[in-house]
Structure 1
Amino acid sequence: MSRRWSIAGQLFALQVLVVTLLVVAGMVGAVLLARTDVRTAARERVLAVAEAVAHSPDVATALRSASPASRLQPYAEATRQATGTDFVVVMAPDRTRYSHPNPDRIGQPFVGEIGPALAGRAFTTVNVGTLGESVRAVAPVRDADGEVVGLVSVGITTEAINRKLLAQAPALLAATAAALALAAAGSWLLSRRLRRQTHGLGPAQITRMYEYYDAVLHSVREGLVVLTPDRRVALVNDEARRLLGLAGTSLAQDRRVTELGLPPAVTELIVSGRPAHDEPVIAGDRMLVANQRETTFHGRAAGTVLTLRDHTELRTLASELDSVRGLTEALQAQAHESANRLHTVLTMVELGRTEEAVRLATAELSLAQQLTDRVVGAVTEPALAALLLGKSARAGERGVDLTVDPGSRLDGHPLPIGDLLTVVGNLVDNALEAVAGTTPPRRVRVHLGATEAEVTVQVTDNGPGLDPSQVTEAFRRGWSTKSPGRGLGLALVGQVVARYGGTVEVTRPAEGGTLFSVRLPIPGRSTVPGQPADQGRAADQGQAADQGQAAEPGDPTGPEQAAAAPEVGR
């Protein structure tokens, strides 16, 4: 199979061919121009010599003498040698020569045109005479009365002109060779640079590569952002535009990252240029997993490649799975504990201590039934009620007292259950993490409320509290108090709040800890001041205050406020 030429090789060959043709054409043009210039110079020269001889008084006097040839031949030869011409012929009007470089031609008729000179006008022409083809001039010789008494013809042979032209050939050829060499060197340098830029690929290979890469970039379900070393966007595929909210194909190309209005977490990651491996970032209401690394080519930095995967649904499902797993583990623990208690009751019955066995069994059943009745009575949604029961069991295992506010009420399906599970589950998990490791008593309180316009979720803990400077970061980056970058619970809560256009408020109760208040508007309904929504909010605040929870910011009767998070999604 024959080796295919690269683009650089084809360009070099084409340039060499074009340059060679141009140089050859230029050389031919230069030769023709030089030939014309030499002929023009010869015409002017012979005409000047002919007119000078014709106007010489000695020539007119010699033409009237008895022996013109004897007087004119020496004069003509001296003039010919002095002017460097090939012949100076003085003749009578009837063409009889009185002088000639070849003395044998004297007395013979002149060969060539003389008509204009006989009419009294000097002229130049190219004729073939006894010395061959020549450029000649013929001028009239006049007497004192102005009558033409003779003619003077001065000429330079074409052979002499060609010899003079050939004398210039070496310089012309040297200039041509230099121009050709310079053009070839420039073409080679240009082709070498192009070869480096195209990596020696041919047109067919580049076309095929472009078609394949374009198809892949438009079809891959992973966001791809390619950046130049100076942090300008070189390429953004369709999925990256969708994930980052970049509308328009040409809006992002060749612009700095800071000018695109990307989500803060994405902008910070790109600007930092640090390597990232499966790093979670928040982009609007999406949870993305980012991978970033610098690319090099032949040891030279070629830019940065950022890939993005949408893990929003996966994170939501994982959160729900964690809730279900927690409930399962809690049920297993309760089953194990119930088996132990049942064995204890049976043993006490066998020992004849029936009354004590009944009291023990009824007391345990009463506590469990009281918790179940409170949760089920307040929350009619089975999945949410099961979540709270599971969280209560897990809290009990950790030594945490998790209670549901008796004033809580959530009937029906005001919002999709998946979003409610995400908000309640992650807020409770966050509260359990906050009180973990603290000295007893450890308490977590949950309040759920709903009006015709919105759903309210409040979770209070008596942990060390959230630093005001950490509130915004906690919701933006999935930050955790245990270790940065570990938790994603609050980030998921922030996504749900942003999706519904709700609010999140973080306050610090007087006795310490943190109160998270989340309000989610019900789609298609609005909150009008003075309507039940406001009344429900006041009731929620009152119930929170009765149980030691902090009222929301702005309540003059509430405890001291430590920090208030900005509205998420607004």
Structure 2
Amino acid sequence: MRLWWPRSLAGQAIALQVGVIAVVVLVGSVLAVFDARRDGDDAARQQVVSIATALADSPSTAQAIESGRATEILQPVTEAVRTNTQIAFITIMSTGGTRFTHTDPSQIGGHYLGTIEPALRGETFTEIYTGTLGPSIRAVAPVRDSAGRVVGLVSAGITQQTLAQRWREQWPKIAAVGVGALVLSMFGVWAIRRRLLRQTHGLRPDELRVMYEHHDAILHSVSEGLVVLDRDRVVVVNDEARRLLGLPPGRVTQADLPEFLRAYAPGARDEVHVTEDRVLVVNRSRVADSSHSEVVTVRDRTELQGALGELSSLQVLTDSLRAQAHEAANKLHTVITMVEMGKPDDAVRFATEELALSQRLVDRLSHDVGEPALVALLLGKTAQADERGIALTVTEDTHLPSDTDDVPLSAQEMITVLGNLVDNAMDACDRDDPWVEVTVALEQAELLMRVADSGAGMEGETFDRAMQRGYSTKADTEPGQHGLGLALVAQVVRRHGGTLTADVTYGSVVTVRVPGRGQ
């Protein structure tokens, strides 16, 4: 059996269908033959009953029997009726069974072979009986005179040989219908086979099962989120995608997906999207041979983005230290030259003034801000602003205790919020009068971060769009970072139930308020 049994799923499915169709057509044809034979027998019964009843009810039949000239009068009539109706025989007989008419004239006067008792009782009935012409379906009806007495009997019959010939004549039609149905079915099966081969790529059932098991295992084990979309349907969602996108268990609909996945947009590469609590990198690819299906992969970049924020702050500090080292070298050369010129007092005064100015800023920030990472960020941003010709001021209202239990944000989150706000402010400030003002304070157990700049600011609708990933007022934003800074700030603020507002008063002012942990 393995030698001829097809290997592919399409081949096995078609083989089963061919077998089923062949059996159905064969059984249907046999049933059609039997049904034709049964219908022929029923039609024959109705025909002989009608003929026998018609002749028996005719007044001329009773009159001919009572006249004693039954054979002379009725034989031509019965033969004419028999010839026109194509039945085997019509026999009119006396109540004793003596034949008055018969298809074979030599049988006239003989005794009728068959049952007559029900007809003598006035009943019309049918039976299958073997007479002088062989087995036949016959009907016997009583002939009544004007007084209603039974004076004779009429029997009409069709031989089974004639019936068999009739339904054998239907065999070619039945066979033609069966062959036509089989041919049409085979064409349909061939079309189904082509479609199955195209959709299953000729794989065997065991190969499809193994492929499904392997793919299912891969979907559950990969560390990236995977979503397969087909038009408005979500076809596949793995465990990691459910976790990263916050999808419910069970069947996932289009409405459950985040807004950025609801539109068909294949070809996207390394798109960064900010959700309520995550930073996600999304790639989208179109499925081959499909115009509305796509595969979406989702990677978690939340921790990496935080690390990049810290790295950026350290980079700023490093750049600041490098710039200060370069500036210190210039100032040292100036001091040495002044000494060589014989002006040591001027050299000392010059050096101590610069040192006191820098030291005062360091001492004040170290005293007022208890978080070392935030101090380093502010010092770095101050140096960075100085290099760019921007006056960055940390206000006297800045005060953050060293007790981190009272501060609702972690050091990493504060760096993310303040670093992005200061960067945006330095980019947006007025180039004719560039200044940035920073305030960080803990007021009544509420963390306040306020960054003001000399720029024009943003309207409410523009600011709301800026808090979403994908919007930026800068034309030279790097790919993959488009409009990400303020979105990250909004993410941190929303996570802790805070508020992020913007207004234009003495400048463009962006304010972050985060309630304390006990509130």
Counterpart amino acid of residue 328 in structure 1: T
- Cα distance per residue 1:190-237 (max 9 Å; x no partner): 5555555555555444444443333333333333333333x4544444
Structure 2 partner of 1:472: 464
Q: Structure 1 residue 406 and structure 2 residue 396: aligned?
A: yes
**Does the 8 A contact of 2:119 with 2:141 survive in 1?**
yes
SS at match of 2:248: coil
**Does the 8 A contact of 1:62 with 1:71 survive in 2?**
no
Structure 2 partner of 1:490: 486
| Superposed displacement of residue 117, structure 1 | 5.0
Structure 2 partner of 1:240: 241
1:23-422 alignment runs, 5 A limit: 23-50=25-52, 55-62=61-68, 80-81=82-83, 83-89=85-91, 100-102=102-104, 110-116=112-118, 123-138=125-140, 153-189=155-191, 203-229=205-231, 231-250=232-251, 252-253=252-253, 255=254, 259-260=255-256, 262=258, 266=260, 270-271=262-263, 273=265, 275-297=267-289, 300-350=290-340, 352-412=342-402, 413=404, 414=407, 415-422=409-416
- Cα distance per residue 1:350-379 (max 9 Å; x no partner): 554332332232222222222221221222
- Cα distance per residue 1:6-48 (max 9 Å; x no partner): 5554444444444443443333333333323333333344445
> Partners of 2:82 and 2:264 in 1: how far apart?
90
Alignment gaps of 5+ in structure 2: none
| Superposed displacement of residue 453, structure 1 | 1.0
Structure 1 partner of 2:452: 460
| Superposed displacement of residue 499, structure 1 | 1.7
**Does the 8 A contact of 2:274 with 2:488 survive in 1?**
no
Counterpart amino acid of residue 414 in structure 2: L
Structure 2 partner of 1:518: 512
| Superposed displacement of residue 301, structure 1 | 0.7
> Partners of 2:76 and 2:227 in 1: how far apart?
96
310 and 78 in structure 1: CA distance in 2 versus 1, 3 angstrom threshold: closer
> Partners of 2:54 and 2:361 in 1: how far apart?
138
Q: Which moved more, 1:375-384 or 1:20-29?
A: 20-29
> Partners of 2:373 and 2:6 in 1: how far apart?
67
139 and 368 in structure 1: CA distance in 2 versus 1, 3 angstrom threshold: closer
Structure 2 partner of 1:427: 421
**Does the 8 A contact of 2:469 with 2:482 survive in 1?**
no
- Cα distance per residue 1:515-534 (max 9 Å; x no partner): 22222222113xxxxxxxxx
Name the % identity: 45
Structure 2 partner of 1:558: none
> Partners of 2:509 and 2:32 in 1: how far apart?
94
> Partners of 1:52 and 1:397 in 2: how far apart?
126
SS at match of 1:429: helix
- TM-score norm. by structure 1 comes to 0.75
> Partners of 2:385 and 2:54 in 1: how far apart?
130
478 and 421 in structure 1: CA distance in 2 versus 1, 3 angstrom threshold: farther
SS at match of 1:85: coil
Counterpart amino acid of residue 246 in structure 2: G
Structure 1 partner of 2:495: 499
| Superposed displacement of residue 159, structure 1 | 1.0
Count, aligned residues: 505
**Does the 8 A contact of 2:400 with 2:442 survive in 1?**
yes
**Does the 8 A contact of 2:62 with 2:145 survive in 1?**
no
| Superposed displacement of residue 163, structure 1 | 1.5
> Partners of 1:425 and 1:124 in 2: how far apart?
109
Counterpart amino acid of residue 281 in structure 1: H
**Does the 8 A contact of 1:278 with 1:289 survive in 2?**
yes
> Partners of 1:13 and 1:509 in 2: how far apart?
82
**Does the 8 A contact of 2:62 with 2:144 survive in 1?**
no
SS at match of 2:428: helix
Counterpart amino acid of residue 215 in structure 1: A
Q: Which moved more, 1:144-153 or 1:113-122?
A: 144-153
**Does the 8 A contact of 1:374 with 1:406 survive in 2?**
no
**Does the 8 A contact of 2:40 with 2:167 survive in 1?**
yes
> Partners of 2:19 and 2:177 in 1: how far apart?
18
**Does the 8 A contact of 1:277 with 1:290 survive in 2?**
yes
> Partners of 1:296 and 1:69 in 2: how far apart?
92
SS at match of 1:516: strand
Counterpart amino acid of residue 33 in structure 1: D
SS at match of 1:276: coil
SS at match of 1:226: strand
113 and 325 in structure 1: CA distance in 2 versus 1, 3 angstrom threshold: same
Structure 1 partner of 2:436: 444
**Does the 8 A contact of 1:316 with 1:492 survive in 2?**
no
146 and 351 in structure 1: CA distance in 2 versus 1, 3 angstrom threshold: closer
SS at match of 1:410: coil
Which one scores higher on RCO, CA 8 angstroms, separation ≥ 6? 2
**Does the 8 A contact of 2:457 with 2:504 survive in 1?**
yes
Counterpart amino acid of residue 374 in structure 2: L
> Partners of 1:94 and 1:306 in 2: how far apart?
98
> Partners of 1:274 and 1:91 in 2: how far apart?
95
SS at match of 2:270: strand
> Partners of 1:76 and 1:487 in 2: how far apart?
108
| Superposed displacement of residue 347, structure 1 | 4.8
53 and 359 in structure 1: CA distance in 2 versus 1, 3 angstrom threshold: closer
Structure 2 partner of 1:537: none
**Does the 8 A contact of 1:60 with 1:141 survive in 2?**
no
- Cα distance per residue 1:269-312 (max 9 Å; x no partner): x4373742212222123222222344441xx5133433322212
Counterpart amino acid of residue 171 in structure 2: A
> Partners of 1:342 and 1:274 in 2: how far apart?
59
166 and 368 in structure 1: CA distance in 2 versus 1, 3 angstrom threshold: same
Counterpart amino acid of residue 519 in structure 1: R
Q: Which moved more, 1:371-380 or 1:302-311?
A: 302-311
SS at match of 1:448: strand
**Does the 8 A contact of 2:224 with 2:299 survive in 1?**
yes
| Superposed displacement of residue 98, structure 1 | 6.2
Q: Which moved more, 1:197-206 or 1:414-423?
A: 197-206
| Superposed displacement of residue 139, structure 1 | 5.2
